[in-house]
Amino acid sequence: MSPFLPMALAWLAGLGLGLFYFGGLWLTVQRLPSVKSPMPLVLASFAGRTAVVVVGFYFVMDGRWERMLACLAGFMMVRLILVSRMRTELDSYLSPQKNGG
């Protein structure tokens, strides 16, 4: 088997783990205003998301640090894309032309 395939699969797994982690974070932040006591929600969400991602990295890695790096690259790529997208949306929301002043 080509060494490229396991690395590509690790990278794709990193993308999936990143979408899970940061998507879960986004859903948690969206629910905060409607929750009476937000701290348990924040802590439970953080613990659950982190546990899933750590276990996911462990299984994807399978004892090979190269796979872990490929997985981490996919994970961080999702973060960079989502932060860039959110920043663009926030800038357009806060721009003086849109808000009339």
The tens place of each residue's pLDDT in the chain, 101 residues long, gives: 688 999 999 999 999 999 999 999 999 999 999 999 999 999 999 999 999 999 999 999 999 999 999 999 999 999 999 999 888 887 887 876 655 55
pLDDT of residue 91: 82
pTM, two decimal places: 0.85
Cα 55 to Cα 61: distance, rounded to the nearest angstrom? 10
Cα 37 to Cα 44: distance, rounded to the nearest angstrom? 12
Judged by DSSP in three states, 1 sits in coil
pLDDT of residue 68: 96
Cα 58 to Cα 53: distance, rounded to the nearest angstrom? 8
